[in-house]
Chain A
Amino acid sequence: MPGAGVYNMKLGMWVFLLSEVMFFTSLIGSYIILRFAHPDAFAQPGEVLNVPLTAFNTFVLICSSVTMVKAFAAIQHDDQAGLRKWLIATALLGMFFVGVQAFEYIKLAEHGFVPDAAAYAAHGKPLYGMTFYTMTGFHGAHVSIGVLCLWFTVFQAYRGKYTKYNHGGVEIMGLYWHFVDLVWIILFTIVYLV
């Protein structure tokens, strides 16, 4: 059997996700270091960012992880209708998450909280806006790419590409999607609550 006891596509996805761990570590690590070095540049939790709205969005992403894993469970039992239903639910929840994030950005920008934020002297310094938008923006981009991939997976599901015995595509889609959820769990804590 090729590499590490799992099929190639899955091994490839794991290796890719581990490179993503390093990518997000560089962002989160930089944020932590900057935050320790310049505590005055950052606002207190809930002072600027809308924590209840984002907590709700976190819940939406957790729901999307459940629907994704339900899609995987469905195809393991050759339940084609279930696969399509849960994949579509996951994609819609992902779109909803991105929509709420866009709404959050618009509201923050209306209050003057923008990436360069030189004008945003009332709460912290430019560092706050830059780090916030860099981290949440890269995560949002990952979710958006995930949504596109999910719709492709839905398309493939409608074409009957997945079966009880051949559903590697659904599994690796799930791995990516859950990873994006996992990263958000960390980001939500670090950026919004700490």
Chain B
Amino acid sequence: MENMMLDPAADPATHVEKPHANYMMIFVVLAVLTAVELGVAFVGLSRRMTIVALILLAVWKAMLVALYYMHLRYEPKRIHMLVLAPLPLAVILVMAVLTEF
């Protein structure tokens, strides 16, 4: 019972393999997005466009890692809420310091 509390997967009767994405496909997308980032950074777009595009690409890549490699997509809703919790705090932290200027 103690072991089950630590790791429910330890019980063969309840062990169900979770669904997951095609890991190699995610890898290819991440590699391509990295190449696109390099292109965007040095292709000579306006400074504002470059920053916006690079941040969108970075967020896209980070979400792919979190959702598919960290299996967040297949976790219970409560874990999603847990993960989202610090994001507003992170924004508040940065905005609060920004107001100093």
CB-based contact B5/A165 at 8 Å? no
Interface of chain A: mostly helix, strand, loop or mixed:
helix
CB-based contact A182/B7 at 8 Å? no
Q: How far does the alpha carbon of A1 sit from the alpha carbon of B85 in the complex, in Å?
A: 22
Smallest beta-carbon distance A66→chain B, Å: 5
Residue of A nearest to B40 (CB): A193
A6-B79 in contact given A29-B90, A58-B34 (Cβ < 8 Å): yes
8 A Cβ contacts from A19-48 to B? 19, 21-22, 25-26, 29-30, 32-33, 36-37, 45-46
Smallest beta-carbon distance B69→chain A, Å: 4
Q: Which residues of A contact B55 (CB under 8 A)?
A: 189, 194
CB-based contact A7/B86 at 8 Å? no
Q: Which residues of A contact B76 (CB under 8 A)?
A: 4-6
CB-based contact B8/A51 at 8 Å? no
CB-based contact A185/B23 at 8 Å? no
Residues in chain B within 8 A of chain A (CB atoms): 3, 5-12, 15, 17, 20, 23-24, 26-27, 30-31, 34, 37-38, 40-42, 50-51, 54-55, 57-58, 61-62, 65-66, 69-70, 75-76, 78-79, 82-83, 85-87, 89-90, 93-94, 97-98, 100-101
Residues in chain A within 8 A of chain B (CB atoms): 1-2, 4-9, 11, 14-15, 18-19, 21-22, 25-26, 29-30, 32-33, 36-37, 45-46, 51, 55, 58-59, 62-63, 65-66, 68-70, 73, 76, 164-168, 174-175, 178-179, 181-182, 185-186, 188-190, 193-194
Apart from A5-B78, A168-B7, A189-B37, what 17 extra A-B contacts exist at CB < 8 Å? A4-B78, A11-B79, A14-B79, A21-B87, A29-B93, A30-B97, A33-B101, A55-B38, A165-B10, A165-B11, A175-B70, A178-B69, A182-B62, A185-B65, A186-B58, A193-B41, A194-B51
23 A-B pairs in the complex with CB atoms less than 8 angstroms apart = A7-B5, A7-B7, A7-B9, A18-B85, A22-B86, A22-B89, A26-B93, A30-B97, A33-B101, A45-B41, A46-B41, A51-B38, A51-B42, A65-B30, A73-B20, A73-B23, A165-B9, A166-B9, A174-B69, A179-B70, A181-B69, A188-B37, A188-B58
